[in-house]
Amino acid sequence: MADCIAYRNTNYFSDLMIDYLDQHENLKQFYSQFPNLESFKKQIEQKQHSFSLKHRKVLVESLQSQYENIQISETTQAHIESLAEENTFTVTTGHQLNLFTGPLYFLYKIISAINLAEELKEEYPDFNFVPVYWMASEDHDFEEINYFNYKGQKVQWSSQQTGAVGEFNTHGLAEVLKEFQKHLGKSDAAKELIQLFEDGYVKHQNLTDATRYIANELFEEYGLVIIDGNDSQLKTLFKPFVKEELLKQTSFEKVTSSAEKLEQKNYKVQVNPREINLFYLVEGIRERIIKEEEVYLVHNTDLRFSEAEILELLEKHPERFSPNVIMRPLYQEVILPNLCYIGGGGELAYWFELKAYFESQQIPFPVLLLRNSALLISEKQKTKLDNLKISVENLFLNQSDLRTNRTQEISNIEIDFTSQKQHLEQQFKDLYALAEKTDKSFVGAVAAQEQKQINGLEHLEKRLLKAQKRKLKDELERLTNLQDQLFPKQSLQERNQNFSEFYEVYGKDLIQQLKQELKPLKQEFSIIYL
């Protein structure tokens, strides 16, 4: 069972995203193809001509190496092998290595990629389409990823490690599991969650391997391919672009120009480029590369390189150069035969800044697709909703407006004083006419009295509303309690809750139902009744 509402009616998406979904003229210069089935034909042609067999060979070898110590499904294995063929393309989403997948929308991103790949195969049967999850293993923002929420409780991992989070060892996560276990019930699905956490984090040495294991366990039957960009073979393919960044700083010029154009159109700029959009990456360190005159420095270290030295380092150790948020998308599109990137509103906002930069590097710009969003409603919550006789769409209002609207709707007396205000304004029109005929100084006194009377009515209206809210307190509390369950902290469920809360109740059926209900090209917010 599923329903949907327009993104613009949720009040949770930016003007930029709403304008993109509406294909507003303002944004057309910032993307290539809008995401519909027809547009992928052109995207296939572009990528086919630009992506070499050499890159495919390196990609397949790298993936086979990354999957060396993990058991995978026949579908995933076939997908990896098919990437060597000229008629195979990818649909990609990316996500940080959040503890136990982090927010619920992790699932929505990956299912969007899986479902789009299947939909494209139906439309273009002569080609193969592989869903890819790009692990953000090179990120160093540990505080963003070291926890997840379970039933309002923060399950957190503390560590003093530094550098790229994917290289963090998993020490301490056995203790986190013990803490998490205390909150879980005794159902078979709860036992599966404990086993998944243990097999992922306790039995693997680093966060990258643990995340790959967990994502594979959840989605292997659908052929998901998981890629780690922190890979020497793959970064070898990216060397020419890193070299240009070091020598010419092209990305700064192109992205700054695009950001300024977006700003002129009154859109919020998501990220600002640096002069060099690369980090230096070794064990325990991921720091910015900065150019001062003719010397390249690594921020917060004593490392210094001449131009010749840093180019020699790039040649010998490409893995030490880590793209930041500006260059990572280019890196992805250089090493993958990719057609589409699926991301949230914040991600797509910075992709809109990148098209001119891609064009300068002669790399096809992918189709940008807003990931699926959903609100999951249990049978019990659905019953409460029905008993309250309120639509789901109303629950997207902020709580104050929700309570006011509901009070006005169910009150047995009229709370809206609009007709009284209109009647008052009509009476004062006659007084204004009289003032004009006598003494014009009297007009000001009439205006002041009119405002006083209107203010009095508005005050009475507010007091009446407040009184009715007190009278209807029980029903309003039931309503706000339901909203608090579905919109924790007055935010979207998918941004707060972890999949484990739902998996514990519904088990593997949860993922199967999400896969069945989420339609990536429909571009509407899904309401899913579990």
Name 206's bridge partners. 169
Looking at the structure, tell me whether residues 200 and 332 fall in a common domain. Answer: yes
At residue 402, the pLDDT reads 87
Instruction: For residue 297, tell me if it sits in a domain.
Output: no
Residue 267 belongs to a domain? no
- Any domain includes 315: no
How many domains are contained in the chain?
Answer: 2
If DSSP states are collapsed to H, E and C, what string results for 234-248?
Answer: HHHHCHHHHHHHHHH
Residue with tokens 């503390």: 158
For the chain (530 residues), the mean pLDDT of every run of 10, in chain order, is 89 96 95 95 94 96 96 96 97 98 98 98 97 96 96 95 96 96 93 97 97 97 97 97 97 97 95 96 96 95 97 97 97 98 97 97 97 97 92 91 76 62 68 68 70 69 61 78 94 97 96 96 96
- Rounded-to-integer distance, Cα 6 and Cα 393, Å: 10
CB atoms within 10 A of CB 285: 18
Q: Are residues 158 and 205 in the same domain?
A: yes
Greatest CA span in the chain, whole angstroms? 96
Tell me, yes or no, whether 501 lies in a domain.
no
Report d(CA 403, CA 397) in Å as an integer.
9
Angle value at C-alpha 394, between 268 and 459, nearest 5 degrees: 90
Positive or negative, the CA dihedral 79, 84, 89, 94 is positive
CA-nearest of 89, 492, 132, 527 to 343 is 132
Cβ neighbours of residue 179 closer than 8 Å, sequence gap 6 or more = 155
CB 310 within 8 A of CB 76: no
Structure tokens at 82: 């098919």
Please tell me the chain's helix, strand, coil percentages from 3-state DSSP, rounded to the nearest 5.
Answer: 55, 15, 30
SS3 string of 157-180? CCCCCCCCHHHCECCCHHHHHHHH
DSSP label at 154? E
**Is there a domain that residue 83 lies in?**
yes
**Within this chain, do residues 81 and 99 fall inside the same structural domain, yes or no?**
yes
Q: Residue 58 is encoded by which pair of tokens?
A: 């390196």
45 inside domain:
yes
- Quick one: DSSP state of residue 206? B
Give DSSP secondary structure letters for 87-127.
TEEEEEEEE---GGG-STHHHHHHHHHHHHHHHHHHH-TTS
Q: Are residues 521 and 422 in the same domain?
A: no
Q: Are 283 and 269 in contact (CB under 8 A)?
A: no
442 and 520 co-located in one domain: no
pLDDT of amino acid 389: 87
pLDDT at 474: 80
On whether both 82 and 216 belong to a single domain, the answer is yes
36 & 58 share domain: yes
Tokens matching residue 290: 């900065």
Question: What SS3 string covers 402-462?
Answer: HHHHHHHHHCCCCCCCHHHHHHHHHHHHHHHHHHHHCCCCHHHHHHHHHHHHHHHHHHHHH
The 10 Å Cβ neighbour count of residue 97 is 28
- Residues 373 and 492: their CA atoms lie apart, in Å, by 9
Distance CA 358, CA 332 (A): 12
Angle between the N-to-C axes of helices 442-471 and 399-410, in degrees from 0 to 180, rounded to the nearest 10: 90
Q: What is the pLDDT of residue 173?
A: 97
Between CA 368 and CA 343 the distance in angstroms is 8
Same domain for 341 and 478, yes or no, is no
Give the phi and the psi of residue 527 in degrees, each rounded to 5.
-110, 115
Q: Looking at the structure, tell me whether residues 514 and 479 fall in a common domain.
A: no
**516 lies in the same domain as 390:** no
Which residue matches tokens 């960044």?
245
Q: Is residue 13 part of a domain?
A: yes
Q: 392 and 343, same structural domain?
A: no
Residue 364 is part of which domain span? Answer: 2-237+325-373+509-529
Is position 23 within any domain? yes
Residues 341, 448, single domain; the answer is no
